[in-house]
Chains A and B, each alone.
Chain A
Amino acid sequence: MKTNPYLRAFLVVLTVLLAFACSEDYLDKKPDKSLVVPQTLEDFQALLDNADRVMNITPAIGMIASDDAFTTDNGWKGLLTATERNTYIWAKDTYNGEPCNDWNIPYQQVFYANVVLEGLEKIAVTPASEAQWKSLKGSALFFRAHALHQLTDHFTLPYTEKDAATTLGIPIRLSPNVNAPARQATLAQTYAQILEDLTLSLDFLPVHSPYKTRPTLPAAYALLARIHLTMAHYKEAEDYASKALALNSVLLDYNTLNPNDFRPIPRMNDEILFHSQQILYSYAVFSNIYADTTLYASYNDKDLRKTMFFRLRSPNRYSFKGSYTGSSPFFGGIANDEVYLIRAESRVRQGNSDGARKDLNALLEKRWVAGMFIPITETNPGSLLGIILEERQKELAFRTSRWSDLRRLGKDSKFAVTLSRVINGVTYTLPPNDLRYAFPLPNQEIQNSDVEQNPR
Chain B
Amino acid sequence: MKNLLLVFLLFCGSIDALCQMRVEGRVRSAGDRQPLPGVNVIIKGTTQGTATDSDGKYTLNVREKDVLIFSFIGYAAQEVVVGTEAELNINLVEDIATLEEVMIVSTGYEQVPKERATGSFAQIENTLVNRRVSTDVLSRLEDVTSGLIFNRNVEGATDISIRGRSTIFGNASPLIVIDNFPYDGDIANINPNDVESITVLKDAAAASIWGARAGNGVIVITTKKGVRDLAPHVYFNSNVTVAERPDMFYVPRMSTSDFLDVEKSLFAKGFYESAESSDSHAPLTPAVELMIAHRDGLLDNQTLDQRLDALRGLDVRNDYEKYLYRNSTNQQYALGIQGGSAHNRYNVSVGFDKNLEGLVGNSFNRFTLNASNAWSLMKDKLEVSLGAYYAEVRKEKKNEGLTNLRFDSASPLYPYAQLKDGAGNNLSVVKDYRLGFVEQAQSDGLLNWKYTPLDEINYADNTSRVNDLRLNARLAYKITSSLRAEALYQYWNSSNAMRNNQSIDSYVTRDQINKFTQVDSDGNLVRPIPASGILDANDVQSSSYNFRAQLNFGKTWDDHDVHALGGYEVKELNTDGNTFRYYGYNNGLATTQRVDYTTFFPLYNNVYQYYSIPNNDGVQSLTDRFVSYYGNAAYTYKRRYTLSASGRKDMSNLFGVKANQRGVPLWSVGLAWTATNEGFMDTAWLPYLKLRTTYGYNGNIDKSVTAYTTAVSLGYNSLTGLPYSTILNPPNPELQWEQVRIWNTGIDFETKNQALSGSIEYYTKWGKNLIGSSPFPPSSGVAVFRGNNANTRGSGVDLVLNTQNINRGIKWTTNFLFSHLTEKVTSYKIKAAPTNYVYSGSGSALVSYPLEDKPLFAIYSFDWAGLDPEGNPKGYVEGVESTDYAAIIGKSTPESIVYHGSARPTSFGSVRNTFSWRNFSLSVNISYRLGYYFKRSSVRYANVLSGSVDHADYGARWQHPGDELFTSVPSMPEFIDINRDNFYLNSSALVEKGDHVRLQDVNLTYTLNRATLARLPFSNVQFYLYANNLGILWKATDVALDPDYPTMKPVRSFAAGVRIEF
Contacts and interface: CB of A to CB of B under 8 A. Distances in A.
Given A34-B620, A321-B608, A74 B269 contact: yes
A328 B273 CA distance: 20
Contact of A37 (B475, B608, B708, B785): B708
A107 B781 contact: yes
Contacts of A46: 711, 713, 722-725
B719 A262 contact: no
Given A262-B607, A263-B602, A36 B712 contact: yes
A93 B274 contact: no
Interface in A67-82: 72-75, 77-78, 82
Interface residues of A, number: 88
A75 B274 contact: yes
A286 B835 CA distance: 31
Contact of B277 (A21, A173, A287): A287
Contacts of A173: 779-781
Identify which of B775, B976, B979 gathers the most chain A CB atoms within 10 Å of its CB. Answer: B976
A326 B487 contact: no
B778 A288 contact: no
A143 interface: no
Identify which of A34, A103, A180, A326 gathers the most chain B CB atoms within 10 Å of its CB. Answer: A34
Nearest to A50: B724
Given A7-B479, A313-B277, A327 B780 contact: no
B418 to A, nearest CB: 28
A36 B725 contact: yes
Contacts of A448: 775-777, 830, 833
Interface in B774-814: 775-783, 785
A30 B777 contact: no
Contact of A286 (B278, B723, B833): B278
Interface string A88-112: 0000010011111001100110111
A449 B775 CA distance: 10
B728 A97 contact: no
B274 A286 contact: yes
B40 interface: no
Identify which of B652, B717, B830 gathers the most chain A CB atoms within 10 Å of its CB. Answer: B717
A287 to B, nearest CB: 4
Given A110-B781, A178-B781, A97 B978 contact: yes
Contacts of A111: 727, 730, 780-782
Nearest to B608: A262
Contact of A178 (B479, B549, B776): B776
Interface stretch (A123-131, A248-256, A302-310, A438-446): A438-446
Interface stretch (A51-59, A187-195, A406-414): A51-59
B573 to A, nearest CB: 10
A376 to B, nearest CB: 33
B710 A35 contact: yes
A207 interface: no
B651 interface: yes
Contacts of B725: 36, 38, 43, 46-47, 50
A360 B620 CA distance: 54
Nearest to A282: B274
Interface string A255-270: 0000000110001000
A66 B787 CA distance: 42
Given A35-B710, A104-B783, A176-B709, A262 B602 contact: yes
Contact of A14 (B279, B487, B719, B890): B487
A456 to B, nearest CB: 13
A183 to B, nearest CB: 10
B446 interface: no
A186 to B, nearest CB: 16
Contacts of B610: 263, 267, 326-327
B277 A177 contact: no
Contacts of A47: 711, 724-727
Interface in A204-222: 211, 213
A427 interface: no
B664 to A, nearest CB: 13
B776 A49 contact: no
A314 B781 contact: no
A29 interface: yes
B717 A51 contact: yes
Nearest to A22: B627
A43 B975 CA distance: 48
Contacts of A17: 547, 549
A5 B1032 CA distance: 66
Interface stretch (B166-174, B182-190, B654-662): B654-662
Nearest to A181: B777
Contacts of B886: 93, 96-97
Contacts of B709: 37-38, 115, 176
Contacts of B727: 38, 47, 111-112, 115
Interface string B577-590: 00000000000000
Contacts of B277: 287-288, 313-314
Given A111-B782, A448-B776, A288 B978 contact: no
Interface string A306-335: 000000011000000100001110000000
Given A7-B479, A43-B711, A288-B277, A26 B627 contact: yes
B564 interface: no
Contact of B833 (A18, A110, A447): A447
B382 interface: yes
B730 A178 contact: yes
B815 interface: no
B627 A27 contact: yes
Interface string B608-640: 111000000000111111010000000000000
B378 interface: yes
B274 A78 contact: yes
B480 interface: yes
Contacts of B979: 96-97
B781 A114 contact: yes
Given A6-B378, A10-B477, A51-B720, A77 B271 contact: yes
A177 B655 CA distance: 19
B532 interface: no
Interface in B246-283: 269-271, 273-275, 277-280
A387 interface: no
A162 interface: no
Nearest to B277: A287
Contacts of B975: 77
Contacts of A313: 277
Contacts of A449: 777, 779
A21 B627 contact: yes
A10 B781 contact: no
A285 to B, nearest CB: 8
A106 to B, nearest CB: 9
A35 B712 contact: yes
Contacts of A51: 717, 719-720, 722, 724
A297 interface: no
25 contacts: A7-B479, A10-B487, A17-B549, A27-B651, A30-B653, A31-B623, A32-B712, A34-B714, A36-B711, A37-B708, A38-B711, A46-B723, A47-B711, A52-B717, A74-B273, A77-B271, A97-B979, A99-B783, A111-B782, A171-B779, A178-B776, A178-B785, A211-B720, A263-B608, A448-B775
Q: Which 9 A-B pairs have the closest CB atoms?
A: A111-B781, A449-B777, A33-B621, A178-B780, A46-B725, A21-B570, A74-B270, A104-B778, A78-B274
Given A31-B655, A97-B978, 10 more contacts: A1-B479, A10-B487, A18-B568, A35-B656, A38-B709, A46-B713, A93-B886, A263-B610, A287-B279, A327-B610
Interface of A: 1, 6-7, 10-11, 13-14, 17-18, 21-22, 26-38, 43, 46-47, 49-54, 56, 72-75, 77-78, 82, 93, 96-100, 103-104, 107-108, 110-112, 114-115, 170-171, 173, 176-180, 182, 211, 213, 262-263, 267, 285-288, 313-314, 321, 326-328, 442-445, 447-449, 451
